[in-house]
């Protein structure tokens, strides 16, 4: 995008500058006498003037004074000139070169300025009539460079155009950079901020600018500063809550232990107190996990995670726990797949779903886990399906089971012992990894929860792990 703005500014200004230059050139050419003609006219007049002067000098002082005049002319302009009479012979009687003879003859016949040029020099001739009616021809030999300066108008135009193109390009490049640079800096900073780096600031990248971009940069920095402050205090608050709520719970647990050390205690009541304390503790733990997930405060690791390995570990542990309740956890289909993400978070997501299934499956049945590769819409993925053999969930309740503290039925959930945040945590975690979670009832009874995760491909995109909640 930035390259877009840069290119656009560069091209727009460049093209418009070039257009202005071309238009100006065309207008000047169209509204004034063509340059060549003016030069022509000038050199004609000049040549005629020199010729007349030479003729006058010839009249007054003869050939020697003409020679002096020509020596002086060559001195001043580098043009060598000779004066010929109507018979095409030099007035002083000196011999002539063949070119001069030819051009002079032509000039006498046409009455115009005639010219002949080779690589080095140009020879011009102009006939004039003296006051006594005799005709003379002035033949001037000049270096070609002089003429080229006067006559090479088309290439001069090209040169001018090139000069405009170049200077315009340099100026426009500078302008485009001047505008696009702060934009690029701001954009990079915004991107980093979105990725969770709240310490990013743009002021150092703005240099000594004092324009609107610099103002925008300052505002951005102020915003980042405030975000960082809020985030830091939120993290501190989370940590404080965790500490402060757990301290009384820790004391309660130890006090409970003390009560149990004395044989007089009512052990049934103590069991109940312990169970409730455990539940409260689990609830605090899950609330904190959820809060961390939502605020994105947890610096998520990005590593290649073997899904099957995680599922195996969770299944083995959950199976061990479920055995006590005459329930089991089995993996019925196992496909190898890896995803990119945070292994601990993904493990807890799978664990929450599996534990939920263990809680709800009927005694004597098994929770079935299927790990399967997906090829939806060409994007490879992996699906983890966890199916229980319980009563399922009423159809109208299905969309809500991932919401915090949602209970399908008060009595059932309470006896099952969940605190109502496990599935929510699983849902948020999977979303954080770019996946989806859905739940549905199985026709022959029970609930199936499907976790779909984008699989890691050969060339893995190093996309940031940012929550889009």
Partner 1 sequence: MGVVRVLLVDDDVELAELVGEYLTREGFALDPETDGTHALDRAVSGDYQLTVLDVMLPGVSGFDLLRGIRATSKVPVLMLTARGDDVDRIVGLELGADDYLSKPFNPRELVARIRAILRRTQTEARGPGERIAEMLGLDDVALDLGRRTVRRAGAAVELTAVEFTLLELLLRAAGAVVRRDELARGALGRALLPFDRSIDVHVSRLRKKLGPRPGGGERITTLRAVGYMYTR
Q: Known catalytic residues?
A: 243
Q: Does 312 bind partner 1 (CB under 8 A)?
A: yes
In terms of CB distance, is 72 or 313 closer to partner 1? 313
Pairing of strands 328-334, 366-374: parallel
Q: At what angle do helices 212-261 and 267-295 cross, to 10 degrees?
A: 170
The residues in 335-354 that bind partner 1, with binding defined as CB under 8 A, are 344, 351
Phi first, then psi: what are they for 40, rounded to 5°? -55, -50
Part in contact with partner 1 (CB under 8 A); list of ranges 87-95, 174-182, 209-217, 316-324: 316-324
H-type helices in 296-335, by residue range?
A: 307-323
- Judged by CB under 8 A, which of 29, 247, 438, 457 binds partner 1? 247
Q: Is 320 a residue that touches partner 1 (CB under 8 A)?
A: yes
Instruction: Report the nearest approach of partner 1 to the CB of residue 302 (Å).
Output: 15
Residue with tokens 């049945």: 365
351-410 residues near partner 1, rule: CB under 8 A: 351
Strand segments (E) across 63-148: 80-85, 114-117, 121-129, 135-143
- Could you say whether residue 257 binds partner 1 (CB under 8 A)? yes
Q: What share of the chain is helix, strand, coil (3-state, %, to 5)?
A: 60, 15, 25
CB 148 within 8 A of CB 121: no
Smallest separation, CB 349 to partner 1 (Å): 13
Binding segment (CB under 8 A) for partner 1, from list 54-62, 238-246, 369-377, 416-424 = 238-246
Min. distance of Cβ 432 from partner 1 in angstroms?
Answer: 16
Report the nearest approach of partner 1 to the CB of residue 408 (Å). 25
Counting contacts by CB under 8 A, is residue 239 touching partner 1? Answer: yes
Tokens of 94: 């000196």
Question: Taking every pair of C-alpha atoms in the chain, what is the biggest distance, in angstroms?
Answer: 158
Stretch that binds partner 1, among 61-69, 204-212, 215-223, 236-244 (CB under 8 A): 236-244
The answer to whether residues 185 and 170 touch, using CB atoms and an 8 Å cutoff, is no
**Of the candidates 262, 342, 330, 267, the residue with the CA atom closest to the CA atom of residue 305:** 342
Q: Which of residues 424-443 bind partner 1 (CB under 8 A)?
A: none
Q: How many residues form the binding site for partner 1 (CB under 8 A)?
A: 37
Nearer to partner 1 by C-beta: 286 or 424?
286
Do 121 and 142 meet the contact criterion of CB atoms below 8 Å apart? yes
Residue with tokens 């990894």: 433
242 binds partner 1 (CB under 8 A): yes
Interface stretch with partner 1, choices 27-35, 170-178, 309-317, 438-446 (CB under 8 A): 309-317
Which of 250, 304, 332, 416: binder of partner 1 (CB under 8 A)?
250
Dihedral pair phi/psi, residue 241, rounded to 5°: -60, -45
249 is a site residue for partner 1 (CB under 8 A): yes
Distance CA 469, CA 467 (A): 6
Q: In Å, how far are 252, 282, 344, 356, 408 from 418, measured between CA atoms?
A: 21, 9, 21, 7, 12
In the set 316, 333, 376, 403, which binds partner 1 (CB under 8 A)?
Answer: 316
* CA-wise closest residue to 351 among 400, 389, 323, 386: 386
Site for partner 1 in 268-307 (CB under 8 A): 274, 277, 281-282, 285-286, 288-289, 306
Binding site for partner 1 (CB under 8 A): 239, 242-243, 246-247, 249-258, 260-261, 274, 277, 281-282, 285-286, 288-289, 306, 309, 312-314, 316-318, 320-321, 344, 351
């Amino acid at each position: 995008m930035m390259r877009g703005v840069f290119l656009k500014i560069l091209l727009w200004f460049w093209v418009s500058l070039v257009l202005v230059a071309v238009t100006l050139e065309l207008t000047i050419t169209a509204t004034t006498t063509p340059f060549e003609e003016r030069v022509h006219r000038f050199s004609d007049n000049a040549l005629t003037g020199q010729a007349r002067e030479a003729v006058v000098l010839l009249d007054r002082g003869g050939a020697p004074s003409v020679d002096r005049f020509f020596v002086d002319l060559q001195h001043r302009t580098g043009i060598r000139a000779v004066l010929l009479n109507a018979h095409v012979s030099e007035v002083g009687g000196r011999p002539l070169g063949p070119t001069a003879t030819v051009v002079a003859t032509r000039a006498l016949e046409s009455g115009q300025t005639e010219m002949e040029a080779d690589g080095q020099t140009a020879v011009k001739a102009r006939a004039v009539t003296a006051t006594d009616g005799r005709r003379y021809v002035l033949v001037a030999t000049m270096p070609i460079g002089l003429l080229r300066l006067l006559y090479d108008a088309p290439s001069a135009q090209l040169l001018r155009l090139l000069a405009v193109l170049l200077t315009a390009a340099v100026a426009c490049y500078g302008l485009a950079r001047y505008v696009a640079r702060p934009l690029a800096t701001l954009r990079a900073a915004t991107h980093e901020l979105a990725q969770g780096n709240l310490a990013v600031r743009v002021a150092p990248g703005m240099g000594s600018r004092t324009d609107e971009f610099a103002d925008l940069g300052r505002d951005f920095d102020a915003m980042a500063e405030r975000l960082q402050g809020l985030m830091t205090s939120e993290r501190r608050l989370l940590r404080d809550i965790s500490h402060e709520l757990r301290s009384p719970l820790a004391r309660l647990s130890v006090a409970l232990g003390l009560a149990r050390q004395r044989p007089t205690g009512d052990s049934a009541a103590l069991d109940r107190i312990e169970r409730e304390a455990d539940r409260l503790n689990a609830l605090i733990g899950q609330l904190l996990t959820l809060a961390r997930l939502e605020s994105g405060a947890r610096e998520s690791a990005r590593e290649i995670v073997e899904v099957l390995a995680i599922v195996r570990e969770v299944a083995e542990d959950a199976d061990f726990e479920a055995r006590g309740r005459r329930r089991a956890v089995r993996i019925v289909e196992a496909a190898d797949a890896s995803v990119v993400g945070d292994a601990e978070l993904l493990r807890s997501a799978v664990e929450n779903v599996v534990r939920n299934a263990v809680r709800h499956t009927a005694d004597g049945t098994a929770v079935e886990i299927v790990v399967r590769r997906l090829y939806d819409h060409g994007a490879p993925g992996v699906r983890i399906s966890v199916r229980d053999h319980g009563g399922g969930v009423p159809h109208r309740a299905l969309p809500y089971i991932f919401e915090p503290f949602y209970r399908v039925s008060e009595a059932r959930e309470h006896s099952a012992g969940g605190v109502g945040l496990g599935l929510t945590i699983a849902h948020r975690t999977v979303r954080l990894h770019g996946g989806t979670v859905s739940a549905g009832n199985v026709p022959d009874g029970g609930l199936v929860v499907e976790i779909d995760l984008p699989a890691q491909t050969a060339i893995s995109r190093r996309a940031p792990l940012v929550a889009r909640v």
